[in-house]
Structure 1
Amino acid sequence: MDLFASPPADEALDLADRMWQWTITSGLRIVVILLAAALISAVASWLLRRFFRTMIESSSKLTNVAGVVVKRDRRAMNAAQARRAQRAETLSNAARNVASMVIWAVALVMVLSEVGVNVAPVIASLGVLGLAAGIGAQTIIKDVVAGVVMLFEDIIAVGDVVDLEYATGTVEEINLRVTQVRSIDGVLWTVRNGEIIRIGNMSRGFANAVVMLDLDPASDNALVTEVLEKVTAELTTDPEWVDVIQGDATISGILGVDGSRVQRRVLVQVAPGEQWGVEQELRRRITAAFREAGVTFALPRFIDAAQQG
């Protein structure tokens, strides 16, 4: 018997016919399923993005119905509108990711059914495996639940400057499992949502620009106050900074006195995220004004070897 003999022509034709029949039935349905999944995923993504965008636009229109507002209220409204836009973008990204996962999971089950796999046992097995995985993946479930809570309670949003205890910086991405924060030195930190115990959000409502001053004990306190009042008044009315500063400056009295310094503090309420620029400008102006008025800063304290011994 010749093992390498060609199969009979009838068998070859029958195989080709079965392949053709499968191609124009199940094969065509698989192609349609994949195309439909891609189309539905794209439409769902567009609808979700449109939904959240409409939500923001409607909210902004309702806010503007109030009519004429003072400059500070207008600034607060603009900040609130920007915040809503951040939240909508964050929720939109999360919702589109979940919708895409569900759509392609259903498409995969339908494709398996078309290739002859009995999906009922597969689904049942997946249910059992899902239960076992859920017991073994409690950490992931915890992360997802924490992510959902953070998204819908608007605790943080993409673009916020936050302190997550483990990382401090600008939020670049939030999903259901992790939050990614870019620190000031450029490092991208990824923190699991379930591990976030406290959140310090520096982009909500307002921030405080705080400048601490160590002055020479011989400085005239009244003169120091006069110079600081003049500097802060000029800064808060400067057209370049008026849209950033949200309130009058607060100048403290003497906070502390020791043998080498007198401590004062200047605090200005500013728009969130603008405190560092205002602090730098305050220091520059205060330094120049003190130099002109003859006010000197305290010298660094040194401990000599005898005192250390």
Structure 2
Amino acid sequence: MAGTCQDEVLCSWLAGWFDNAIWGQVAASGATIILILFLGFVLRKVAHRVITKVVNRAAMGGSLTSRFRKGVTVGGVDALLNERRRQRAETMGSVLKSVASIVILGTAVLTVLDRLTIPIAPLLTSVGILGVAVGFGAQELVKDFIAGMFMLLEDQYGVGDVIDVGPAVGTVEAVTLRITRLRDVDGRVWYVRNGTITRVGNESQGWSRAYMDVPVPYDADLVSVRAVLENVAEEIWADTEFRESKIVEAPQVFGVEQLSDSSLVFRISAKTVPAAQAEVSRELRLRVKTALDDAGIAMAALV
């Protein structure tokens, strides 16, 4: 019996301690299993701490302030981008922690089973067959998760963005690895599976553009019309309420944009912070209409 322990230092030492080779082998196996499980949990804890540290650094490190003009920070943009970055980092951190736990603890369990002389080949084969079966049955779910991971990694959109995903257009209220929740202008909530999104139109990333087409009759004084529109552009740019929080560049008058059989169409355009184009467009319409009325210039029908 003592010969069974000659190949293992720990077993031989414990056999001498217990003065029995069988008990020494049992104790050695138990100690090895405990050591394997202990190392597995320690490695899992270390991996989670490293992932948490990386996630926190990714979420908090570095300012994401968007400076659209030299020396001017657009209010609210920095907070929004940092929040998006935090959510993206935390979601990916959760995925990485789950993967680390499965790999480390799964390896530890298989090692323990092998130590107990339990054949793991049939188990691995069964798990492989089960994985294939689950993969076929839950392929849509897997597709959603993979699409959600790439969406988060590429930062295609985030909470607060106004996006067009085909079946629905609205403001993003929540993003997970499986679904994206939108609320449209009517207040309707849409739940869109990430795997079904084939294209995304993001109206809130970087900057947006507000514009207004101004139709005037053919007999209008084009020089006067252009001068009126340029005055409107200068006034709204000089308005601190819009310049500091809504508009990021001086509005431009593009001149005659279109010709029709009954009117000439001027276009005035303004670069805005993300998702502020609707508010700026409404303000432009109001100011342009008031300025044209004051100048005695009539507007034509927009064809």
- Give the TM-score taking structure 2 as reference length: 0.68
Q: Contact 1:215–1:298 (CA<8 Å) still a contact in 2?
A: yes
Q: How does 1:1-309 map to 2 (within 5 A)?
A: 52-60=55-63, 72-75=70-73, 79=77, 82-93=80-91, 95-96=93-94, 99=97, 125=126, 127-243=128-244, 244-299=246-301
Residue segments in structure 1 that go unaligned for 5+ positions in a row: 1-39, 111-117, 302-309
1:80: Cα distance to partner?
Answer: 5.1
1:81-138: per-residue Cα shift (whole Å, max 9, x none)? 631321222342464478579979x8xxx9xxxxxxx9x8888755532221202332
**More deviation, 229-238/291-300:** 291-300
CA separation in 2, counterparts of 1:168 and 1:275? 16
Closer, same or farther: CA 180–219 of 1 in aligned 2, 3 Å: same
Q: Distance between the aligned counterparts of 1:125 and 1:264, measured in 2? A: 71
Q: Provide closer, same or farther for how the CA distance between residues 99 and 188 of structure 1 changes in structure 2, counting only shifts above 3 A.
A: farther
Residue in 2 aligned with 1:23?
Answer: none
2-structure distance, mates of 1:293, 1:82:
41
The 3-state SS of whatever aligns with 1:198 is: coil
**Is the CA contact 2:232–2:287 (under 8 Å) kept in the aligned structure 1?**
yes
Contact 1:167 1:189 in 2 (8 A): yes
The alignment yields a C-alpha RMSD, in angstroms, of: 3.7
Distance (whole Å) between structure 2 residues aligned to residue 212 and residue 185 of structure 1: 26
CA–CA separation in structure 2 for the residues paired with 1:137 and 1:70: 45
C-alpha contact 1:177 1:192 (8 A) present in aligned 2? yes
Q: Percent identity?
A: 30
Give the residue type in structure 2 aligned to 1:202. E
TM superposition shift of 1:292: 0.4
Superposed displacement of residue 156, structure 1: 1.2
* Residue 70 of structure 1: how far off its partner (Å): 9.2
Q: Secondary structure at the match of 1:204?
A: coil
